[in-house]
Amino acid sequence: MSTPLNSAIDWQGDTLWLLDQRALPVDTHWLECTHVDQVNEAIQTMVVRGAPAIGIAAAYGVVLSAIAHRAASTIDPIIDDCARLAQSRPTAVNLQWAIDRMLGVLKKHSAPLPAIDALVHEAETIHREDIENNLALAEHGAAFLAQQEPTPFAVMTHCNTGALATGGHGTALGIIQTAWSQGVIDHVVVNETRPWMQGARLTAWELQQAGISMALQTEGAAGLTFSSGKTRWLIVGADRIAANGDVANKIGTYTLAIAARHHGMRVMVAAPISTFDLSIPDGSHIPIETRSEDELFYQGSTRIAPDGIRAFNPAFDITPHTLIDALVTEQGVIEAPCREKIENHVKV
Q: Which residues are catalytic?
A: 239
Residue 285 backbone class (left: φ over 0; alpha: ψ -120 to 50; beta: rest): alpha
Q: What one-letter code names the amino acid at 177?
A: Q
Q: How far is CA 163 from CA 33, 82, 219, in A?
A: 20, 25, 22
CA atoms within 13 A on the CB side of 234: 30
Cis peptide before 152 (omega within 30 of 0): yes
Cα 300 to chain centroid distance, Å, stands at 23
φ, ψ (nearest 5 deg) of residue 19:
-70, 120
* DSSP strands (E only) in the chain: 9-12, 15-19, 30-33, 153-157, 185-191, 214-217, 231-236, 240-242, 247-250, 266-270, 276-277, 298-299, 302-303, 316-319, 326-329, 332-335
Terminal-to-terminal C-alpha distance of the chain: 40
**DSSP code at position 293:** T
Full strand arrangement of the beta sheet holding 30-33: 9-12, 15-19, 30-33
Q: How far is CA 64 from CA 32, 81, 276, in A?
A: 12, 10, 27
